[in-house]
Amino acid sequence: MDYFIELFCSGLTRGSIYALIALGYTMVYGIIGLINFAHGEIYMIGAFTSFIVATVLSIYGFPLAAIVVVAGVAAAIWSSAYGYTVEKIAYKPLRHAPRLAPLISAIGMSILLQNYVLLAQTSDFLPFPELIPEFAFMEPIAHIIGSSDIVILLTTTVVMLALTFLIKFTRIGKAMRATAQDRTMALLVGINVDRVISATFIIGSALAAIGGLLIASHIGQINFAIGFIAGIKAFTAAVLGGIGSIPGAVLGSLILGLTESFATGYISSDYEDVFAFSLLVLILIFKPSGLLGKAETKKV
Amino acid sequence: MITVKEVKKSLLVSLWFVFLTFPLMVIKVNPYERTVSWRWSNMLYVAIGTFVISLLAKAWFVRKERRMARQQDSCRSRTPIIQKILQRPGYRYPLAAFLLGAALAFPQLFSTYQANIMTTALMYIVLGLGLNIVVGVAGLLDLGYVAFYAVGAYSYALLNLHFGMGFWTVLPIGGLLAALFGVLLGFPVLRLRGDYLAIVTLGFGEIIRLILENWNAFSKGPSGISNISRPGFFGMEMSLDQAMIYMYYLMIGLLLVTIFVVNRLQDSRLGRAWLALREDEIACQAMGIDKTRTKLIAFSLGAFWAGLIGVIFAAKTTFVNPASFTFMESAIILSIVVLGGMGSIVGVILGALILVLLPEYLRALSEYRMLAFGAILVAMMIFKPEGLIAGVRRVYCYQGRKRNTALKNDE
């Protein structure tokens, strides 16, 4: 039973990290109908930035709390800046191009960013400094759920609530929902659509950066290639929940996290990534609109 | 032409990039020795580089706008010079004969090493032409193309290992197996929208690679299969050099067949259906084209070519392992198609030659190879979506009544 609960908890942790990345995919897709292939790379850059900042600060002997806050903020700032720039360079000029064009451009951006980090930093796996300490009060249940799992779950919950608030009640959130529903109409009622799209990329990238920081400190090492697999899995989660739908992305991520956790726990860990891909193929065959997504009807 | 305002804008852009690349380009930490190195010179390179690129990009857009304005009144689309030459039979056949002669004489004129590199380039040309059917002509973005390549390579490796089957027997089998995989994957997915197809094929490519890596009993895992026999030629004994040259001629032969088939296909009923599907699916369905079937044929035909080249790859290197079939390989083939020009045979050939031979001869730049591929994909989409040599689009235009009647009289 303990093993089951352990797997369940690690599945939840995994799922909540996927959710942070999947939200970026689903929000961008909802607004401009583009699969932002470079999103996984933004997450990787978030993890790398926080790694660099945290290591530099710890070398200069700053206290742990300061390191966590500064690394998190820096990761969010730089990831958002990258997300914003990627949109401006690779997607904005192609807004009226045929569908294939922005998709190819996005793949190019993903390859470009990966190799940029590879060349600017290193191809080795780097040890990520331990940012989350083992809490003393967690001692009795430490064999089931670790301290970092708790921190990740709490952080993601807070972030999700903040995002829900942002989208439901703020001005920019309303503008985002309006743009997602009908871009032309949003333009007509005076919404600056370009700004909304930029905001979406910035928010999505900041979420991915937080995910990057959390998972890097959870796993303990990073590499320039982590974005690729994480990106695909998060995308799978977003499709599972119904791409374009924000609660769907969270639900899909949790399901994917749990599936992976149980599958690796009970079946085999060799095929960890195969489960996610197979799940993706299965959903697309049987229910391409996802669990909470709306079926799309195309008008001529 | 370049105003002060534009220079100022470019300065701002370069400042922004200095900020953007600061943590990754300037700071480098060594977590083991706990040292930090600050590489300030990189900051200067970034500033200068982005400033120049941004100015060039602006100049390009200005030029493009002017050209568009000029073209507005003439309805004829610009065909690239190379395509114009190729369209005229008077130039076309001598040129083709010359190129063929040069290709045939190549191994005699240069060393076996050069011929070997050329063989690789020829393989990528055929792969590019195969993917061109799928991406360029039918407009289906296939990101797992390398999976079919792997199916071909492994089918030869395994059939050779277990049953001792020869190259010529497996060549069609490998191709057909890959096509079968294409049908199996395509059948459920091709009903979906284009972007889903991209992701599913990407996932499929990874699944194939992961299975090859982990299923040791089947594929010998990451260590791969070695000692695959080379292709035979009526039982002749060949030295390594001769085998290489034989491989080269084999590839020339396959390339000619491919060019012939692809060229004929493009003008066939099926080829026109693909082009139409690429442009507008709904209109196609209204015209009575079976969408799924047409797409499926394109998909499996592309896979067939990848399978063939896979078999040849296994025979050429006499060794296969999963590391040769990563997503990056798919990305390279896609870059070839995009750089050359989607849907254009001449373009794909040129694209493959550039992307394979350049890194081969500029070894110093090989580190930046993948970076360049990524940049090419983005830049081509933004600046020149039609590629280096655009495919010929037939344009029918109304040239006024007088001209029309005159033409009729000529007939």
Whether chain B has a CB inside 8 Å of the CB on A91: the answer is no
Calculate the alpha carbon distances from B192 to A11, A271, B273, B298 in Å. Answer: 30, 26, 18, 15
Token pair recorded at residue B274 = 């693909």
Map tokens 């220079």 to a residue: B7
pLDDT bracket for residue B411 (50, 70, 90): very low
Buried b (16+ CB within 10 A) or exposed e, A48-60: bbbbbbbbbbbbe
Find tokens 């993903």 and name the residue.
A110
Helix segments in B268-384, DSSP class H: 269-279, 281-286, 291-317, 327-340, 345-361, 369-383
Mutation target vs B (from A100, A105, A202; most B CBs, 10 A cutoff): A100
Query: In chain A, where are the structural domains located?
Result: 2-133+146-286
Q: Radius of gyration of chain B from Cα atoms?
A: 24
Domain count of chain B?
Answer: 2
Mean per-residue pLDDT of chain B? 83
The CA distance from B128 to B302, in Å, is: 9
Instruction: For B113-125, write each residue's pLDDT tens digit.
Output: 888 888 899 999 9
SS3 (DSSP) at A223: coil
- Residues of chain B in contact with residue A273, where contact means CB-CB under 8 angstroms, are 206, 210
User: What are B127-159's pLDDT values in tens digits?
Assistant: 999 999 998 888 888 888 999 999 999 999 888
Please give the structure tokens belonging to residue B115: 């011929």
- Which amino acid would we find at residue B121? A
**What SS3 state is found at A126?**
strand
Number of H helices and E strands in chain B, helices first, is: 17, 4
* Same structural domain, B181 and B89: yes
Residues B156 and B24 in one domain: no
Confidence of residue B304 (pLDDT cuts 50, 70, 90): very high
**Nearest one of B281, B197, B139 to A300, comparing CA atoms:** B281
Q: Report the candidate in B223, B225, B215 with the shortest Cα–Cα distance to residue B157.
A: B225
* Beta strand pairing call for B27-30 and A126-127: unpaired
Please, are residues B152 and B306 in contact by the beta-carbon 8 Å criterion? Answer: yes
Residue B136 and residue B58 share a domain: no
CA dist., res. A84 & res. B364, Å (int): 32
Which residues in chain A touch residue B194, judged by CB atoms under 8 angstroms apart? 99-100, 103
Task: Tell me the two tokens of residue A297.
Answer: 């009807």
Q: How confident is the model at residue A81 (pLDDT cuts 50, 70, 90)?
A: very high
Residues near B243 by beta carbon (within 8 Å), at least 6 away in sequence: B230
Tokens of A282: 């299965």
Distance CA A127, CA A219 (A): 9
Q: Is A100 exposed, middle or buried (0-12, 13-18, 19+ CB in 10 A)?
A: buried
Return the number of other C-beta atoms located less than 10 Å from residue B247's C-beta.
Answer: 22
A145: helix, strand or coil: coil
Q: Which of A17-31, A69-83, B95-109, B294-308 has the least mean pLDDT?
A: B95-109
Q: How many CA atoms lie within 13 A of B83 on its CB side?
A: 20
Distances (CA, A) of A18 to A11, B168, B332, B399: 10, 47, 28, 58
Q: For chains A and B, what is the number of CB pairs under 8 angstroms?
A: 161
For chain A, the average pLDDT equals 85
Name the amino acid, one letter, at A49.
T
Give the closest of B282, B327, B385 to A300, CB-based.
B282
Tokens 């926080």, located at residue = A50
* Residues B9-24: tens digit of each pLDDT: 888 888 999 888 888 8
- CB A137: neighbour CB atoms within 10 A? 7
Chain A residues in contact with B335 by the CB 8 A cut-off are 108
User: Is the pLDDT score of B63 beyond 80?
Assistant: yes
* B376 contacts in chain A (CB < 8 Å): 108
Q: Which CATH number goes with the domain that contains B92?
A: 1.10.3470
Q: Report ipTM (2 d.p.).
A: 0.85
- The CA-based angle B26-B27-B28, given to 5 degrees, is 120
* CB-CB neighbors (< 8 A) of B202 in chain A: 232
**Listed residues B19, B37, B67: the one ending a domain:** B67
B226-264 pLDDT per residue, tens: 877 777 766 666 777 778 888 888 899 999 999 999 988
Examine the pLDDT at A85 and tell me if it is beyond 60.
yes
At A166-192, the pLDDT tens digits run 988 999 999 999 998 888 899 999 999
**pLDDT higher than threshold 70 for residue B403:** no
Q: Domain check: are B226 and B347 in the same one?
A: yes
Contacts of B25 in chain A (CB under 8 A): 120
Q: Looking at the structure, tell me whether residues B259 and B192 fall in a common domain.
A: yes
Same domain membership, residue B96 and residue B40: no
- Ramachandran bin of B141, using left for φ above 0, alpha for ψ from -120 to 50, beta for the remaining angles: beta
Interface-testing mutation among B30, B54, B134, B199, with chain A (most A C-beta atoms within 10 A): B199
Q: B341 is written with which tokens?
A: 């020009």
Whether residue B391 lies inside any domain: the answer is no
The residue of A39, A111, A112 whose CB has the most chain B CBs within 10 angstroms, and thus the best one to mutate to test that interface, is A111
Same domain? For B54 and B92 the reply is no
Could B199 and A232 be called an inter-chain contact, meaning their C-beta atoms sit closer than 8 Å?
yes
Q: Do B374 and A127 touch (CB under 8 A)?
A: no
Q: Are B118 and B59 found together in one domain?
A: no
Cα B169-B156-B235 angle, rounded to 5 deg: 45
Of B20, B200, B207, the CB nearest to A82: B20
Candidate from B188, B334, B375 with C-beta closest to A112: B375
Asked whether residue B408 is assigned to any structural domain, the reply reads no
What is the sign of the dihedral through the CA atoms of A135, A137, A138 and A140? Answer: positive
> Which has the higher per-residue pLDDT, B104 or A175?
A175
Same domain, B29 and B115: no
User: How confident is the model over B314-366, as pLDDT tens digits?
Assistant: 988 888 888 888 888 888 898 888 888 888 888 899 889 888 888 777 777 77
Alpha-carbon gap, residue A157 to A152, rounded angstroms? 8
**Topology of domain A2-133+146-286, per CATH?**
ABC transporter involved in vitamin B12 uptake, BtuC (1.10.3470)
**pLDDT bracket for residue A287 (50, 70, 90):** confident
Q: Tell me how close the Cα of B130 comes to any Cα of chain A, in angstroms.
A: 18
Query: Which residue range forms the structural domain that includes residue B221?
Result: 81-383
Q: Quick check: is B103 in a domain? A: yes
The amino acid occupying position B130 is G
Per-residue DSSP letter, B368: G
Give me A6's structure tokens: 């352990």
Tokens of A55: 């290591």
Find the residue in B nearest to A48 (Cα): B24
CA distance B302 to B297: 8
- Distance, in angstroms, between A268 CA and closest chain B CA? 11
Q: Are residues B272 and B299 in the same domain?
A: yes
